[in-house]
Amino acid sequence: MATSPHRITDAPEPYNSPKSDIILRSSDGVDFRFFKLLLSLASPFFSGMFDLPVAKDPAWEASSSEMEMKDGMVVVAVDENSQVLTALLGFVHPWKVPTFETLESSRVILQAADKYGMDDVTEAVEEALITSKFLDRRPSAVYALACTYKLEKAARAAAKLTLQHPMLFPFSPEVDHAPAAALYRLFAYRQACMKKVVEVTHILALRDAYVACKACPTATTLLSSVSVYQWLWDSVHHLTSRIQEVGFGGDVMQHVTVSWPVLANAMQCPTCKTKAMEIFSRFVQEVKRDIELEIRKVALEIKF
């Protein structure tokens, strides 16, 4: 526990109740009036502290004389600053709606909850992470944070959303603290999913292999000896390369534009120009559905 050299101030509502029976003093000198019962229920650390004998043990009497008292209550100095303590107690207080504005604040809350054994707080933060804006915007950081604090549901949800972003995701403090093995498993998962993307697009291209055109060149696929339109195979290759580069964002149409130059060549063929858009439009409609189905089959290995 920490002592504070700061000028002591009182925390605002709801941490200034006159019915409180314990004071937690933050590292920056803010006193939080709280309730032993709530802290005991939320944390085995505080439960053990409050269960210590107080009357008959001479050692306790000697040590209690050195304890700081305020308004008849024991003051417990903690290492966390007032911002962290406000957020942490928000998950314990029954009338407070807990929030965190940054991913960094969720990390320090998880760190404090782990320190004090507040499992319910950890679970609440995990649920908040899964529904937060950070899951969509920074899934790799959420994954790293979830693996650091053993949040399996959040880790799995975040891992899937990383597929919407480039393979080399931005560095962050959360990634810096994550276990290397967890990051390796994420890369392995993403590689397996991208392999499925390539397989799905190639299989869909083969569906139109039966359409013949003597004027257009053909390509022999990697999955079979069947030949398909060169322009179709090239458009599929452009699409899969684009997805592998920037991620699969769920909306295939955002990646389709890379195939327009290839399809323009098909429009020059008298035979293919009436079929090219129909074939490719059907391909685009089916590829999103089939990719989602195949990705669901890819298992993400998580070990804590």
Taking only the tens place, the pLDDT of each residue in 137-155 is 999 999 999 999 999 999 9
The whole-number pLDDT of residue 153 equals: 96
Q: Are 208 and 124 in the same domain? A: no
Q: Are residues 207 and 286 in the same domain?
A: yes
| 234 belongs to a structural domain | yes
Question: For residue 116, what is the domain's CATH number?
Answer: 3.30.710.10
| pLDDT range class, residue 289, cuts 50, 70, 90 | confident
Same domain, 19 and 119: yes
User: Once rounded to an integer, what is the mean pLDDT over residues 44-64?
Assistant: 65
- Total domain count for the chain? 2
* Single pTM value for the model: 0.78
Residue that terminates a domain, selected from 131, 152, 173: 131
Better pLDDT: 5 or 109: 109
| Domain presence at residue 229 | yes
What residue numbers bound the domain in which 280 lies? 191-295
Domain membership of residue 183 (yes or no) is no
> Which of 149-158, 202-211, 212-221, 225-234 shows the highest mean pLDDT?
149-158
* In a domain? residue 222: yes
Residue 179 placed within a domain: no
Instruction: Give the pLDDT confidence score for residue 59 in this predicted structure.
Output: 47
Q: Are residues 102 and 204 in the same domain?
A: no
How confident is the model over 170-209, as pLDDT tens digits? 888 899 999 999 999 999 999 999 888 888 887 877 776 5
Domain presence at residue 172? no
Answer yes or no: is 230 within a domain.
yes
Question: How sure is the predictor about 287, in pLDDT bands with cuts at 50, 70 and 90?
Answer: confident
Q: What are the DSSP calls for the chain, one per residue?
A: -----SPPEE--TTSB-TT--EEEE-TTSEEEEE-HHHHHHH-HHHHHHHTS--SS-HHHHHHHTTS-EETTEEEEE-SS-HHHHHHHHHTT-TT-----SSHHHHHHHHHHHHHTT-HHHHHHHHHHHHTSHHHHH-HHHHHHHHHHTT-HHHHHHHHHHGGGS-SSPPP-HHHHHS-HHHHHHHHHHHHHHHHHHHHHHHHHHHTTTT---SSS-EEE-SSSS-EEEHHHHHHHHHHHHHHHHH---S-THHHHGGGHHHHHHHTTSTTTTTTHHHHHHHHHHHHHHHHHHHHTTSPPP---
